[in-house]
Amino acid sequence: MVAGKEYGAGSSRDWAAKGPRLLGVRAVLAESYERIHRSNLIGMGILPLQFKDGSSAKSLGLSGRETFAISGLADGQASEVTVTAVSDGGSPLRIPVRVRLDTPRERDYLRHGGILPFAVRSLRRMT
């Protein structure tokens, strides 16, 4: 999913992240995030990515209808990855972006698919 500035501002907080997850969204690429919404996306297992300063969907000519692929996440520690966008019949556009997993705990939540799967796995380890 591609978004603009302050993505999630004014939203219905947790449902603003649940809805995209239920629709199959696995990552959001935005110019910037409302702070709590970024955390809620991670809690739902959605990867928040951010355009680098000065870049936006508009400046790059993205419509949101492209096919997107993310590379460079293999070790789970990357602070920057490459998003490749391909439109119908177009050539690939490689976009360096920031990974907005700001703490080790956020990386854990995302690696487990969100906060609920993380909590369930943690409970299983205790028994």
Q: What is the pLDDT of residues 53-100, one digit of tens each?
A: 889 999 999 988 999 999 988 777 789 999 999 998 888 999 999 999
Q: Which H/E stretch holds residue 110?
A: helix 104-111
Report yes or no: 38 and 48 within 8 Å, Cβ to Cβ.
Answer: yes
Q: How far apart are CA 51 and CA 54, in angstroms?
A: 8
Quote the DSSP letter at residue 90: P
pTM: 0.87
Q: How far apart are CA 112 and CA 95, in angstroms?
A: 26
What pLDDT score does 47 carry?
95
Q: How far apart are CA 12 and CA 27, in angstroms?
A: 19
* pLDDT tens-place string over residues 17-41: 887 888 888 999 999 998 888 999 9
Residue 74 φ/ψ, nearest 5 degrees: -50, -45
